Copies of this chain bind each other. A is one copy, B any other.
Amino acid sequence: MIFILHSFLIVWINRVFLYLNKGPLSGMKINGVHYQTIWEKESDPGMIQILDQRLLPFELKIADLRDPEQYAFAIREMQVRGAPLIGVTAAYGMYAATLQIAGKRDPEKFLGEIAGMLKNTRPTAVDLFYAVDLCLNSILQKSSPDERVDTALSMARKLKAESIESCRKIGEHGLELIRNLKEKKDGPVNILTHCNAGWLACIDYGTATAPVYLAFDQGIPVHVWVDETRPRNQGAKLTAYELSEHGVPHTVIPDNAGGHLMQHGQVDLVIVGTDRTTRAGDVANKIGTYLKALAARDNQVPFYVALPSSSIDWSIRDGIRDIRIETRDEKEVTHMEGWDGEKITEIRVTPFKSQALNHGFDVTPANLVTGLITEKGICEASERGLTALFRDKISSR
């Protein structure tokens, strides 16, 4: 009960701040306008809208979601991506399902099928399964269609608000690191990031980017080195786009460049996100993160990982041994997408007869991680550090 009240409070506080549209809660901007990655269309109840991220950074297109099938499509085809955003999108997908149960002969079966369809879109996304199951269980505890609609909608809103709040808190904790670095140097604080752990992967602020946005909004001079992040180019496409639209100074670099920059004192701090963190502090993130962590250690550059605690897998310790790394379509390596001057075009970049291999992630062992920035604060990347911060989570799981 307290939990629900608390959630509603967060939602309302956010609304008030969004209305005022200023201060650290004013949110992320595209071309001067505040956007989130998913929202309810005010003029059309039941209609949810998202940014179609497949076209970024070249085209800004808003997609409408109404039927559960459209939600499944959006997740499967990566109109939306990033664990937190996928979770919230799936939750709204369950809400869309409740809008269609009136008149169904077996509404429970229908809801179960939609849940299954949504969970089948991205087979390795833990947040997705969690969000769908949570929503389905809450919905099934009600019996009338109207109550089910209300429950589903408030559940989706709650997950969304929690995600925003979690990112904001990560931002506040990480902001202190940037502030401390600024006190020790002239010129902007140079922060390197890999892949996109930005607001486009979440709802607002992002995880790895949240400290950067908060620092920027508070007038602390920052500059971001954006790793291109081959093969899918999420850095060059999404992180650079986010930063550019919000006005944050940044430079896109090849994934090969970070070590050289660190050797020459041009990186003050590395902040990356994570897809899965073990209870010992090992971190699975986009392929190439490990190489940057090695360079950071070799050059005494602090290397931090930003994460909502939902990404911690308390069941494993040794990430290199126990995290199975997804092998993705080799076409992401052999081909590349971009703007040919008129439209988005795909080109082949490898010889016709050569094959390629595409591992999605790698594991950075905890001993290379300076600290973990969570919504509860910053801790050492170790079992001791994590358990001290999340005693409640461990005992309750």
**Residues on A facing B (Cβ under 8 Å):** 57-58, 226, 228-231, 233, 236-237, 240-241, 243-244, 250-261, 263-264, 286-288, 290-292, 294-295, 298, 320, 325, 333-341, 345-359, 361-363
Q: Is the CB of A336 within 8 A of B354?
A: no
Which one, B333, B347, B359, B361, contacts A345 given CB within 8 A?
B347
A314 to chain B, nearest CB (A): 23
Residues B333 and A336 in contact, CB atoms below 8 Å apart: no
A297 to chain B, nearest CB (A): 8
Partner among B250, B252, B290, B357 whose Cβ is within 8 Å of the Cβ of A295: B290
Contact sample, A vs B, 8 pairs, CB 8 Å cutoff = A237-B350, A240-B354, A252-B333, A252-B350, A253-B356, A254-B358, A256-B362, A339-B349
Nearest CB of chain B from residue A254's CB, rounded to whole Å: 4
Contact across chains for A257 and B359 when beta carbons are under 8 A apart: yes
Residues on B with beta carbons closer than 8 Å to the beta carbon of A294: 259, 291, 294-295, 298
In the assembled complex, the Cα of A257 lies from the Cα of B291 at a distance in Å of 9
In the complex the two chains form, is A340's CB within 8 Å of B347's CB? yes
Distance from A105 Cβ to chain B, minimum over Cβ atoms (Å): 50
Please give me the residue from chain B that is nearest to A264 by CB atom. Answer: B320
Docked Cα-Cα span, A295 to B351, in Å, equals 27
- Alpha-carbon distance A257/B332, docked complex (angstroms): 13
> Please, which residue of chain B has its CB at the minimum distance from the CB of A290?
B259
On chain B, the residues within 8 Å of A346 by CB distance are 340
The 10 A-B residue pairs whose C-beta atoms are closest, nearest first, are A256-B288, A338-B347, A57-B351, A260-B362, A294-B294, A240-B354, A338-B349, A230-B254, A252-B356, A339-B348
Q: Are B228 and A258 in contact (CB under 8 A)?
A: no
Are B359 and A260 in contact (CB-based, < 8 A)? yes
Please, which residues of chain B bring their CB within 8 A of the CB of A264?
A: 320
A258 contact set on B, CB distance < 8 A: 291
When the two chains form their complex, are residues B260 and A325 in contact, meaning their CB atoms are under 8 A apart?
yes
Q: How near does chain B come to A358, taking the closest CB pair, in angstroms?
A: 7
Contact of A291 among B237, B295, B354 (CB under 8 A): B295
Tell me the smallest distance from the CB of A55 to a CB of chain B, in Å.
12
Residues of B within 8 A of A356 (CB): 251-253
A252: which B residues are within 8 A, CB to CB? Answer: 333-334, 350, 354-357
- Option from B287, B345, B347 in Cβ contact (under 8 Å) with A256: B287
Task: Please give, as numbers and ranges, the residues of chain B lying within 8 Å of A358 by CB-CB distance.
Answer: 254
A295 to B349, CA, bound (A): 26
A229–B256 Cα distance when bound, in Å, is 8
Contacts of A226 in B (CB 8 A): 354
Nearest opposing residue in chain B for A297, CB measure = B294
Q: How far is the CA of A351 from the CA of B238 in the complex (A)?
A: 8
Q: Report B-chain residues with C-beta under 8 Å of the C-beta of A237.
A: 349-351
Give the contacting residue for A357; candidates B233, B253, B347; CB below 8 A: B253
A120 to B336, CA, bound (A): 34
Contacts A236-B349, A260-B361 supplied; 4 other A-B pairs, CB < 8 Å:
A231-B254, A240-B354, A253-B357, A259-B290
Which residue, A252, A325, A353, has most C-beta atoms of chain B within 10 A?
Answer: A252
Q: Which of A57, A255, A264 has the most CB of B within 10 A?
A: A255
Residues of B within 8 A of A253 (CB): 333, 356-357
Out of B241, B295, B345, which one reaches A354, CB within 8 Å?
Answer: B241
Q: Which residues of B are found within 8 Å of A359, using beta-carbon distances?
A: 257, 260-261
